[in-house]
Amino acid sequence: MCGIVGYVGGYDCKDVLMEGLSKLEYRGYDSAGVALHMGRDITVVKAKGRLAVLKEKLESKNLPVCHCGIGHTRWATHGVPSDVNSHPHSTPRVSIVHNGIIENYGKLKEDLIKKGYEFVSETDTEVLVKLIDSCYTGDPLLALTRALALVRGSYGLAVLFKDFPDIVYAARRESPLIVGFGKGQNFVASDVPALLKYTREYAVLDEGDIAVLTRDKIDFYNEFGTPVEKNHLTADWDMEAAEKGGFPHFMLKEIYEQPEAIQKTVGPRVQNGLPDLRIPQLSDEALAKIGRVHLVACGTAMHAGMVGKTAIEKLARVPAVTEIASEFRYRDPILSPEDLVIIISQSGETSDTKAALELAKQRGCKVLAIVNVVGSSIARAADYVLYTYAGPEIAVASTKAYMVQLSVLYLFAMRLAMAKGKLDEAQARRLTAELLQTGEKINGILENCDQIKFLASKFMNASDLFFMGRGFDYALSLEASLKLKEISYIHSEAYAAGELKHGTISLIEQGTPVIALATQKDIYEKTISNIKETKSRGANTLLFTTQNQPVPDGVADYVVRLPEFEELFMPMLLIVPLQLFAYYVSVLRGCDVDKPRNLAKSVTVE
């Protein structure tokens, strides 16, 4: 997603903006730019490509020190990546940077053209800046409230007005935006990492909010221009957490942070050896009344939901269904008030997932959010929140966030099962103790990853690769396949092992790589049969299973063995070598592991 920064204060604005944008690179982008208020005029410098290109262009202009400006990294939605489409977009009086989509930009553009405005780019943002300009009569706040009232769609905005040096304006609808409080300086940003070098004190703009920043204060208004107050929050992230800490990539660092992330997330939710959600409104009495659970999310979070579904049905015998948020929001789902909707999101800002949450609430369902970013939109809109404490996840490919989502879903499933009388205290205590052991087991796996590096070298040139498994292992196949695709660009498919023979097996030929996951003992033999079906057609097979499982001759060309462990929690162990496999394949293929092409860390547009 696009990254936004804004600054007003005593430092040279160019340095602060470039530093802030560099901390937002992880969001994914294809061009960047800044608008600098030089006192009498606004200077705009922007370019297609990475920040280094913008930096070089900026330096070549030898601009004087300035103290007020806005910056942007663009992830293209309307219009190809190019210099002219990059932000900021300006008129002689106004400059803006924007994250979001103006859905009615076509009609607005027609009206503006009739007023004499001309357009040079393909973007909706250029329409927005000219709309603001058309509403400007000398009062920036009035111009913003008038213009934004005409807009349908989403925006996170930072704005400069030529007539108002040393003031940055910010506005937000759907696309997240925060402001940072400094001493003699203030900040705007899309996300906390851009602020950490200068301040940890921040506030989150709510829907429709407008902020007016000078060096000494930040005033807040609602969409009608009425003053409002904002809570001040303190970022408990430190610079270290937002840096690589000696690892070659954020993704590898975050894979190795998983044991600590589990401890921070699970530890506070175990009381007297039993799971404790610590949500008073979700008492055992309330849990006992839940008739059905809908787990709704996108991407990796949805894959975590699939593991959660299986755990909920296994333990609590409550019907659970996992839904893709972008499908759920438009298919008029059948919901009843005693259904619980669990919304899962690392960023808490994913547009489709937010929309699914709103739909569930409109239908009278209670919503439990499992979110990693404190104060995010989804966290603030849900009825109940189970925060995961993985810390900032910078790599676009989600790893530790997925891991802690699983851990929280297991805690929920166990507590629900206890409330439903399906799990007694002794059983719950045993399972909870095992859950608390997962971090140590994962450390053991992380200490022995040479085999995974070797296997990555064997499969790095695959063109089509199949994952397959049953039950939990099918859910893991989907996640393993997504990890490999999104960071190595190798095409991969994930299949329910029993389904392959219903058509897709026609694709298996000599040397086709097939990765089978088989950690669940009750269906192990079935998966072995499925591997044999592919082997007999020439597949090159890699099997992930547990230490003591017998592997018949001629079934697997390679075998990776995981330690024997409580089967219920095997997904938390199995995903680790699969994350590492995708990581090493990506590195060997020379891909941009942390910022894969075309992807953004948080998809805040439809």
Active-site residue list: 2, 601
Q: Which range in 56-64, 221-229, 345-353, 440-448 contacts ligand AGP by CB under 6 A?
A: 345-353
Which residue is at the shortest CB distance from ligand AGP?
299
Q: Which range in 197-205, 242-250, 391-399, 465-473 contacts ligand AGP by CB under 6 A?
A: 391-399
Which one of 310, 398, 477, 540 is in contact with ligand AGP (CB under 6 A)? 398
- Residue 399 Cβ vs ligand AGP, minimum distance, rounded to whole Å: 8
Which one of 347, 540, 546, 604 is in contact with ligand AGP (CB under 6 A)? 347
Q: Cα–Cα distances in Å, from 81 out to 47, 75, 123? A: 9, 8, 10
* Size of residue set near ligand AGP by CB under 6 A: 15
- Residue 172 Cβ vs ligand AGP, minimum distance, rounded to whole Å: 18
Q: Is 373 exposed, middle or buried (0-12, 13-18, 19+ CB in 10 A)?
A: buried
Q: Which range in 10-18, 39-47, 210-218, 343-351 contacts ligand AGP by CB under 6 A?
A: 343-351
User: Cα–Cα distance between 26 and 466 in angstroms, integer?
Assistant: 29
User: Cα–Cα distance between 88 and 96 in angstroms, integer?
Assistant: 5
Q: Are 386 and 370 in contact (CB under 8 A)?
A: yes
User: Cα–Cα distance between 445 and 438 in angstroms, integer?
Assistant: 11
For ligand AGP, the closer CB: 191 or 209: 191
Residue 177 identity (one-letter amino acid):
L
- Residue 579 Cβ vs ligand AGP, minimum distance, rounded to whole Å: 10
User: Cα–Cα distance between 574 and 527 in angstroms, integer?
Assistant: 16
- Residue 107 Cβ vs ligand AGP, minimum distance, rounded to whole Å: 30
- Residue 416 Cβ vs ligand AGP, minimum distance, rounded to whole Å: 22
Q: Are 361 and 381 in contact (CB under 8 A)?
A: yes
Burial track 450-488 (b if 16+ CB lie within 10 A, e otherwise)? eebeebbeebeebeebbbbbbbbbbbbbbbbbbbbbbbb
For ligand AGP, the closer CB: 145 or 388: 388
Specify the length of the chain in residues: 606
Window 32-71: contact mask with ligand AGP (x via CB under 6 A): ----------------------------------------
For ligand AGP, the closer CB: 175 or 345: 345
Q: Which range in 97-105, 122-130, 393-401, 533-541 contacts ligand AGP by CB under 6 A?
A: 393-401
486 touches ligand AGP by CB under 6 A: yes
Which one of 345, 407, 492, 534 is in contact with ligand AGP (CB under 6 A)? 345
Look up tokens 């009843």; give the residue: 336
For ligand AGP, the closer CB: 6 or 392: 392
- Share in percent of the chain as helix, strand, coil (round to 5): 40, 20, 40
For ligand AGP, the closer CB: 76 or 397: 397
- Residue 571 Cβ vs ligand AGP, minimum distance, rounded to whole Å: 16
Give the Cβ contact number of residue 186 at 10 Å.
Answer: 24
Q: Which range in 259-267, 309-317, 396-404, 533-541 contacts ligand AGP by CB under 6 A?
A: 396-404
CA 122, 125, 129 angle in degrees (round to 5)?
Answer: 120
Query: Could you tell me which residues come within 8 angstroms of residue 332 by beta carbon, excluding any fewer than 6 positions away?
Result: none
User: Cα–Cα distance between 438 and 129 in angstroms, integer?
Assistant: 52
Complete edge-to-edge strand list for the sheet that includes strand 558-562 = 491-496, 464-469, 513-518, 540-546, 558-562
Which one of 195, 255, 365, 397 is in contact with ligand AGP (CB under 6 A)? 397
For ligand AGP, the closer CB: 85 or 405: 405
Give the Cβ contact number of residue 566 at 10 Å.
Answer: 16
- Residue 363 Cβ vs ligand AGP, minimum distance, rounded to whole Å: 21
Which one of 312, 396, 568, 585 is in contact with ligand AGP (CB under 6 A)? 396
Which one of 154, 310, 353, 579 is in contact with ligand AGP (CB under 6 A)? 353
603 touches ligand AGP by CB under 6 A: yes
Which one of 258, 326, 350, 512 is in contact with ligand AGP (CB under 6 A)? 350
For ligand AGP, the closer CB: 190 or 350: 350
- Residue 240 Cβ vs ligand AGP, minimum distance, rounded to whole Å: 22
CA 535, 540, 543 angle in degrees (round to 5)?
Answer: 85
Q: Are 346 and 393 in contact (CB under 8 A)?
A: yes
545 touches ligand AGP by CB under 6 A: no
CA 197, 198, 202 angle in degrees (round to 5)?
Answer: 110
For ligand AGP, the closer CB: 17 or 371: 371
Look up tokens 């390679």; give the residue: 558
Q: Cα–Cα distances in Å, from 377 out to 172, 588, 603? A: 12, 37, 13
Interface residues for ligand AGP in 286-305 (CB under 6 A)?
Answer: 298-301
- Residue 345 Cβ vs ligand AGP, minimum distance, rounded to whole Å: 3
| Residues lying near ligand AGP in the complex (CB under 6 A) | 298-301, 345-347, 350, 353, 396-398, 486, 602-603
